[in-house]
Structure formats: C-alpha cells, structure tokens
Amino acid sequence: MAGLRPSSSDVEMLGRWVGHLQTILVLLLLFIGYALQFMCGFRRDHGLIEPNQSLPVSTTPPGWTTISPMALETIKLFANWTTQNHTPHSTEERSNTTPTTELEHFGLLASGEAIFIYLVPALLHLNGYLLAVFIYRFADNEQLQSLVERVFILSSNPRRLVLTLWLYFGLGLVWLGVSTAYVTLLGVDGITVFERFVSFGWAGKLARWTHTAEMLRASLALTLFFHDLVQMVVIVSYGLMCYMLRCYLKALKEKLLLHTIEPLNWMREICEFRKLLHHLNTKISLPVASLTVLNLSYTVSSVAHLFHDMTACPINIFTASLANILLWLVIALMPFFQAASLTVTCRQTQSCGHLISIRPFVHRNTSSEDLNTVLLYASSLKMSAKLFRMPVSAHYLCFLVLVCFIGVLTFGMCLNISLDRL
C-alpha cells in the first residue's frame, strides 16, 4: 500500500508499471494531504485543539509595506482558525469579510506558521518517502532478500523468527490504528475544518453543498492515514532489518562456539554481515533519519503546547494531549532502540575469539593458527548501527530517555490538572 515494493528483475513489465503507478498514487495522496492540512488548519503536533483557543502570530513582514494602516489592523493570524461566530452560508457576511480573509491568507503565507508548521514538516515527510522509494525500489540490489535468506538458513528456530517478524508488523499496525483513531475521533473537528477551508475565497462555492464538512473531514483523515502508513512502513522496515541482522550475528556466533562452522567460513560470513550493516547505515537509515527528525519535532512541540498554560488543564484535554505525545514519542524512539540493540550484539561478537580459546575440547581439531586468527579478527571488529551518521549506543540512549523523563515529570509537577472539569 505504501508503494515501496522492490523492483526485482524477476518481476514482469506489467508488475513494474503497476508498482510505479501505485507509488504515483501514494505521492498524489501525500500532496493532497499536505494541502488539506494547511487549508483546514490541522496541526499534527497539537493534541485536542480547543475551539476558542487562539494564538496571535507575528505581524506582517517588511515586504508588505503597500498595505494601508487600516488594513493592517484587520490582519489577525490565528493558529487554529476556529472562529465560532462565522456563518459560511451567509452571502452578505462573506462578501464583507472577503478583503480581510484575503489579507489574512497573504500574511499567513509569509508567517512562521505556514513555514514551520506546514511547509518544513511536509518537506521532511516527503523527503523521507522519496528516499525510501529510491532505496527500496531501485538502489536496494536485493540486499534485503539476501539477508532474509541467510537468516532463515542459519536460524535454528525459523517458526519463532517468523512469529517475531509478524509481531513487529503487528505493533506497527497497532500504532497506525491508534493514530488513525486519534485523528478521526479527537483530532479532526468537522466544524473547524469547514470554517478554515471555506475562508479561502475560491473554496467558498463548496459551502453550498450539504455534505462538504463531512467530505473534508473524511478526506483529511484518509490522507493523514497514508501519511502515517508511510511512516509506519519505513520505520518498521528499519526495525525488521535491525532484528534480522541481530539474528544473523547471533546465529553465526552460536555456530562458531559449537564448531558447526569452520573459522575461515565464519570470517567470510562476518564480511557479508558487514556489507549488510553498511547498507543499513548508509542507505536504509536515510529516510528513517528524515522521519525521525519530524517525529521528534512533533513530540517536543506537543510537550511545549501541553505545558504552555500552567494555570489549569482539564483532564480530558490533558489525556488527549498526552496520548498524542506518546504516539509521536514511540515512533520517534523505535529506530534508536533497534539500532542500540544491534550495536550491543555487534560488540558482543568481539568476544568470540576468547570464547573459542577457552573451549579446547570443542575446537580440538582446529589448529592454533586458525584460533589465533579468529581471536585477532574478532577482537578487531568495530561494528555499530548508525543513525545520522553517528553510532547509537545503548548507554547514551538510556541516559537521554532518563533525562527526558525527569524533565517531563518536573514540568508535570507544575501543571494543575483539574479532575472535576470534564
């Protein structure tokens, strides 16, 4: 569904064209989603948006010096565009407010809201998808297929391996389902979406239709579903590859210790593993890095929005905002934990030479030269999973999570949550 199926040489020409068409359709839905988010005023970093909440944004930039002072007083940019007194069915009121809304849209396009809330996240998301399409469909060179074959050949329990792979995929579907349910039930308000959309002059004709608000809400939810689907597929694929690399390395270590593989053959397999690890660090991690920046930005922005008003926070708004934070935090930290686990497995491989040296009865038929060669080769291995071209270590990751938890807990102590206002 995400249009990331690899273009294998064994696939017929019709199958390739169907794959390209699917990718084009997904790209079209992504572009429609970016446009609808801006036109409907929907923000992925906010939890439950209150209808009457408004946030004044900066005034007109220096380039707009031709606007009169009377017009400048009418330009007010709101983050949520949720004016409840606006009635789109009134023709006279729309004609009176048309100059004001046009000035608001002009100011909005030049404001930080349009750039940092809509444009930059859209570019990060689109960049991640385009990189994933290029890598998985064209530049993969059947690396993933080779990894799967090697892992299942060396695995002592293929059934457990299959169940674990399906577990990863199932957890990704759970995240996608929870995110879709959150957007559908809590995030998208039909009235707010309709008011923001019809405030554009050319879209005012759609207000005559009876089911315009429902169609807008359904279209926005559908496009956001594909946005989240792309994220889920890319990040879960990265997690699956990290897990299979861990299984591959553990199987090689087990076979070496049990002497079911010759030391020279083990070193050849390690060379193949290093090629797959290099492919993971230099190619597969690129779209993941772009999407991780976006998800971390959404997480921090959601936390800042939650603690913006420290006076009082109703429990329902706090719960919805906390759910939104957890959604983005889970999808943002998953690549780091997978990479850290792979790094731990890589560092454990350095002890293989010492482990076979203390087992003389298992390797009694192996010459001392081969044992010394394996010892030197294993101790010189310096392998690690990388994100943003930097090695990911479990120690630093746990420390960072601890600092973030303490920071959130400290801010939470300053937040007055009113349990009686539901």
Torsion angles phi and psi, residue 349, rounded to 5 = -70, -25
The SS3 of residue 1 is coil
The vertex-294 CA angle with 22 and 240, nearest 5°, equals 60
Q: pLDDT (tens digit, 9 = 90+) per residue, 17-32?
A: 777 788 899 899 999 9
274 HSE (CA, 13 A, CB side): 12
397's tokens: 């990751």
Between CA 414 and CA 404 the distance in angstroms is 16
Q: pLDDT (tens digit, 9 = 90+) per residue, 353-371?
A: 888 877 767 667 777 787 7
Q: pLDDT (tens digit, 9 = 90+) per residue, 246-284?
A: 999 999 998 888 888 888 888 999 999 999 999 999 999
Of the chain, the percentage scoring pLDDT greater than 70 comes to 70
Q: Return the minimum-mean-pLDDT range out of 163-172, 244-253, 413-422.
A: 413-422
pLDDT of residue 418: 59
Between CA 305 and CA 47 the distance in angstroms is 8
Q: Which of 214, 234, 229, 241 is nearest to 339 (CA)?
A: 241
pLDDT: which is higher, 351 or 52: 351
Helix (H) or strand (E) run with residue 269 in it: helix 263-279
Between CA 289 and CA 291 the distance in angstroms is 6
The yes-or-no verdict on residue 140 having pLDDT over 80 is: no
pLDDT band for position 65 (50/70/90)?
very low
Q: For all residues of the chain together, what is the average pLDDT?
A: 76
Between CA 361 and CA 172 the distance in angstroms is 46
Q: Which residues contact 226 (CB under 8 A, 6 or more apart)?
A: 2, 26, 29, 30, 33
The vertex-391 CA angle with 386 and 395, nearest 5°, equals 125
401 φ/ψ sector (left φ>0, alpha ψ -120 to 50, else beta): alpha
Q: pLDDT (tens digit, 9 = 90+) per residue, 394-413?
A: 888 888 888 888 887 887 77
pLDDT of residue 111: 53
Number of C-beta neighbours around residue 296 at 10 A: 16
Q: pLDDT (tens digit, 9 = 90+) per residue, 176-222?
A: 999 999 888 876 665 566 666 666 665 556 656 666 677 888 888 89
- Please state the rounded mean pLDDT for residues 291-317: 80
pLDDT of residue 11: 57
Can you list the alpha helix ranges (DSSP code H) found in 110-154?
A: 112, 120-137, 143-154
pLDDT of residue 62: 38
Dihedral of CA 403/409/410/411: which sign? positive
